[in-house]
Structure 1
């Protein structure tokens, strides 16, 4: 069995999706379940977790509607304003949606490097455990130090680092990233997604070997029990096909035992996001 723990859907809007620049023209269009389903079948992937791309409750409801009509969408990572004064009320509201497994905020876009340690954001994170919601950490290497402080504060909250925290594959400058990723991996309540690799590399000239060093680092730091596969489709189409994204992980993890491969490809994601519920 295979689960893609990280992909996105959207109806493209040039205002809402202004982050999709002209150099990203290949993804300046709609991407919906009808586009993903044949790719999952072709690559023998049994289900996926759809992750927010826009910071609005409208986005969360949009993903929930798609999940209602498509059984292969096993879980949703939505968005809610974690800094809101009525955060309890909003989490109570969303708790009734069984496919909604957790939330994410686009920390990497915040101008304030200390945003995730602000009092209001920490208050929001503190409420998630009550509702068994997970939290996806979307950051750059420069944020890892603060991310470690965040997860240390909430030892019973389940966190997952998206995209290995985006190491600089293009320039192969890994020192800050390696120090930070090893530090955050020391906390047992944190997992890591092997996802979004190709978009941090040279889009036109990457090879699978570009990723091996960082995969070695996270595998040693987190262990096979705390890693999960994610495609980051359709953002990944900037640099690779869906099959290519799968192949990078296949090449690396093929040397592991069948049991460990099952953990990486499905069991860890199923347990983290409670996809069997």
Structure 2
């Protein structure tokens, strides 16, 4: 019998509210996920095969601006075989960011740190990513062979594009496709800007977080398909990666419903293209194969 094909979830979160508060969960509408979520909860949630594949590796992503949280995620990666990489946080604007990154990478599990992320979506400065102190921090990230997860809202594409222009050798991945305004008049502006960003070859894109940008209760695959069609044309399957955004996706249907939707979106893709979206793009970007034989 042949080995089952691998499935990588390139974007999920865990948190323990007894250990670390998550203030963003206090916002209205987050009641269904306002509890602790661990890696075993993800295993139970990811019970539906996607295109015949079952979950084999994940990328866990920071939630709060905390170096301590990142250290905890690295420890989780060292202990749990499902976690293949960590997207952490460090203060990019700090002159000491390089030292912080070196300390994180020296900890148990430090080798699983593969990228950094900042909650740019919450920054009011339209040129936050171009601040000299931030660019200095991004050079420290690049110098250490790490990537950068770009978390923006649809109105912030201009600074993401300038980032790609100014750092052509920094691997970038656009989280949640830049949070497209699904079903809104501004969607056409998102289409134009995501195509411009996709013109930079070092940029990848996560097919994740889309159902929470649609109506949480009434969305259908038809609502998501226009976003998918644009991403597939702009990036090509070799630069797209599946992500669940679990447990946030629970707000709009959960892991299994999102997986079923992605399976439908992939119907017209070749086996090679499905493999790229569901495994190979994330494996290459986050270097998941570096540790697959060490656990």
Give the TM-score taking structure 2 as reference length: 0.90
The equivalent residue for 2:77 is 67
Report the CA distance shift for 1:70/1:195 in structure 2 as closer, same or farther (over 3 A).
same
Give the drift of 1:32. Answer: 0.4
Asked if 1 retains the 8 angstrom alpha-carbon contact of 2:207 and 2:243, the reply is yes
Q: Deviations over 1:40-77 (max 9, x none)?
A: 35431111100000111011011112212211011100
Task: Confirm or deny: 8 A CA contact 1:170 1:202 kept in the other structure.
Answer: no
Q: Does residue 49 of structure 2 align to residue 36 of structure 1?
A: no
Structure 2: runs of 5 or more not aligned: 1-5, 291-295
The farther-off stretch of 42-51 and 263-272 is 42-51
Match of 1:108 in 2: 121
With 48-57 and 86-95 compared, the bigger mean Cα shift is at 86-95
Number of aligned residue pairs: 277
Q: Secondary structure at the match of 1:9?
A: coil
CA RMSD of aligned residues (A): 1.5
Question: What is the distance in 2 between the residues matched to 1:95 and 1:186?
Answer: 32
Q: Is contact 2:147–2:170 with CA below 8 Å preserved after alignment?
A: yes
Q: Secondary structure at the match of 1:243?
A: helix
Q: 1:195-234 alignment to 2 at 5 Å?
A: 195-234=208-247
Supply the distance in 1 between the matched residues of 2:226 and 2:46 (Cα, whole angstroms).
28
Partner of 2:24: 19
The SS at the match of 2:29 is helix
Pair 1:84-2:94 in alignment: yes
After the TM superposition, which parts of structure 1 deviate over 4 Å for at least 4 consecutive aligned residues? none
**TM norm structure 1:** 0.96
Q: Following TM superposition, by how much is the alpha carbon of 1:193 offset from its aligned partner in structure 2, in angstroms?
A: 0.2
The separation in 1 between residues aligned to 2:20 and 2:73, in whole angstroms, is 19
**Structure 1 runs not aligned, ≥5 long:** none
The counterpart of 1:138, out of the listed 151, 154, 157, is 151
Distance 2:222 2:185 in 1: 12
Match of 2:3 in 1: none
